Every structure is written in structure tokens, then in C-alpha cells.
Amino acid sequence: MKASEWRSHEPSELDFQLKELRKRLFELRFKQASEEIQDTKEVQKTRRDIARILTIQNERRIAAKEQANG
């Protein structure tokens, strides 16, 4: 999913998606270690989605801090 699509989500939904993606990454790493994975790009895609969500959360945190400081 693109970053612009993630930005339209609510913070609670981003938290939920982040947890789900981390679970998915764990499963993919396990499958990769046991050579059961079909699409090796799936690990990379999942890692990038996690990074996108973390970036958006950090941007929002910084913006909130700047608003509070005025």
C-alpha cells in the first residue's frame, strides 16, 4: 500500500495494521527459514509497509508536538 493511502487511516487503525504486519513478517521469516515461502518479495513488501506506518506515526507525533509548542 502507498504512503498516501496509509495517511488516510486513523491512528488506532494504523496501530492495528502495524501489529498485524509484524505478525505477518514473523510468519514469513519462519517460512523463509524453513524454505516454504513461495514469494520471496513478500518479506520485503511487508517490511516496507511497516516502515511506512512507523514513518507516518512519527510524522504525526512531530506535528502534534509542534502544534503544542505553538
Contact (Cβ atoms closer than 8 angstroms) between residue 56 and residue 14:
yes
> Any idea which residue has 524453513 for its cell?
34
Q: Which grid coordinates belong to 32?
A: 523463509
Confidence (pTM): 0.88
At residue 41, the pLDDT reads 92
In order of start, what are the domains of the chain with their CATH numbers? 3-69 (1.10.287.310)
Give the C-alpha separation, 17 to 50, whole Å: 9
Condensed to tens digits (0 to 9), the pLDDT of residues 6-62 reads 889 999 999 999 999 999 999 999 898 888 888 889 999 999 999 999 999 999 999
Contacts of 64 (CB under 8 A, 6+ apart): none
State the pLDDT confidence band at 2, using cuts at 50, 70 and 90.
confident
Q: Determine the pLDDT at residue 4.
A: 86
pLDDT of residue 1: 81
> How buried is residue 30: exposed, middle or buried, by Cβ count under 10 Å (0-12/13-18/19+)?
exposed
pLDDT score for 55: 95
